[in-house]
Amino acid sequence: MIKPIVQFIEVDAEHVDQRVDNFLLTRLKGVPKSLLYRLLRKGEIRVNKKRTKAYYKLQEKDVIRVAPIRAAEKTQVAKPSEAQLEKLSKQIVYEDANLLVLNKSTGLAVHGGSGVSLGVIELLRAMRPEARFLELAHRLDRDTSGCLIIAKKRKALKEIHELLREGKIRKVYYALTLGRWYKVKNLVNLPLKKDVLKSGERVVKAVKDGKKALTEFNVLRNFSLASFVEVILHTGRTHQIRVHAQATGHFIAGDEKYGDRAFNKMMRQKGLRRLFLHAGELQFTLPSSGELISVVIPISDELQKVLKALE
């Protein structure tokens, strides 16, 4: 049996400004998140001999000390199947030296955790073990399909984050919502705040003291029961589209968390078996390359059939 030892990891320029927890999750293969955060809380992971927080951003030549981790503390890491990796490889719709864009399928989490052993990022790293850097540039809800950016370089990740903060990435979604909207173009400007229910469930609510959130809903087609809409995000809050749809009474079809039960039942009768929310378009220019990146992913045949059934 190999005795666990203290590990010392020196940070290179490629990982400057990365959070220490995210850095270690990729370095300490097989160590579950829960154990990593426990080690951080107990001071068994230190940076430059000092206790550190999970959100600490690394600097070049920082030295991370990781206390010995017993094999018994490690959990069995799920291994992706060849079918999973092949399916993911087919979902890559754009790639260059700096990033790639996936057409993420519904039901696939962007990362493991909360009962999910393998998410997009774990699958990608398993598919490309030689890649030095693969990180999520932003997130999509598990049940939302469509455009997802993965950075292949630390510099690209920082640039994408800056573009997102400045609102310089055009993100367009497509959704099916309850009822008819009063106008063709509808701006919803309601602050949002994360909350935890007594049951322990985490939710987002529209409240006055929340963070600014602005969503644009543009009606593309009206049906008797619902509207097919284009959604443009002007801010990027958690569950923003779904909560703004809920707050206006135009619930998104198939939304089990923020939706309307009766509406969901009617849409199931029309063949809907998922959340009708799809990230369909991305457009931005990466400063370092100066190249305009434009990705358009139409809604799936499955969702097209639902619209057909509503005619």
In this structure, the answer to whether residues 189 and 263 fall within a common structural domain is yes
In this structure, the answer to whether residues 171 and 304 fall within a common structural domain is yes
In terms of Cα–Cα distance, which of 119, 128, 213 is closest to 167? 213
**How much is the pLDDT for 60?**
85
- Assigned domain for 248 exists: yes
In this structure, the answer to whether residues 182 and 256 fall within a common structural domain is yes
Q: Which two tokens stand for residue 63?
A: 């030295």
Among residues 137, 158, 179, which one ends one of the domains?
Answer: 158
Among residues 158, 179, 202, which one ends one of the domains?
Answer: 158
- Assigned domain for 90 exists: yes
Q: Which two tokens stand for residue 204?
A: 């987002």
In this structure, the answer to whether residues 112 and 197 fall within a common structural domain is no
Q: Report d(CA 224, CA 307) in Å as an integer.
A: 12
- Assigned domain for 76 exists: no
Q: Which band of pLDDT confidence, cut at 50, 70 and 90, is reported for residue 80? A: confident
User: Which contacts of 148-151 are long-range, i.e. CB under 8 A and separated by 24 or more positions?
Assistant: 148/101, 148/102, 148/103, 148/104, 148/110, 148/120, 148/279, 149/99, 149/100, 149/101, 149/282, 150/99, 150/100, 150/101, 150/102, 150/120, 150/121, 150/124, 151/98, 151/99
In this structure, the answer to whether residues 243 and 191 fall within a common structural domain is yes
- C-alpha 239 chain-centroid distance: 10
Task: Please identify which of the residues 12, 21, 96, 141 carries the catalytic annotation.
Answer: 141
* Annotation says 260 is catalytic: no
- Assigned domain for 71 exists: no
| pLDDT tens by residue, 85-101 | 999 999 999 999 999 99
- Give the chain's domain count: 3
**How much is the pLDDT for 3?**
59
Residue 33 CB partners (closer than 8 Å, separation 6+) = 25, 112, 113
In this structure, the answer to whether residues 187 and 249 fall within a common structural domain is yes
Q: Any bridge partners for residue 138, and if so which?
A: none
Q: Report d(CA 205, CA 99) in Å as an integer.
A: 33
Q: Which two tokens stand for residue 96?
A: 């260059």
Residue 25 CB coordination number (10 Å): 20
Domain range for 12: 7-65
CATH code, domain carrying 47: 3.10.290.10
In this structure, the answer to whether residues 133 and 241 fall within a common structural domain is no
Q: What is the mean pLDDT of the chain?
A: 89
In this structure, the answer to whether residues 48 and 173 fall within a common structural domain is no
The pTM for the full model equals: 0.78
The one-character DSSP state at 252 is B
**How much is the pLDDT for 34?**
83
In this structure, the answer to whether residues 153 and 256 fall within a common structural domain is no
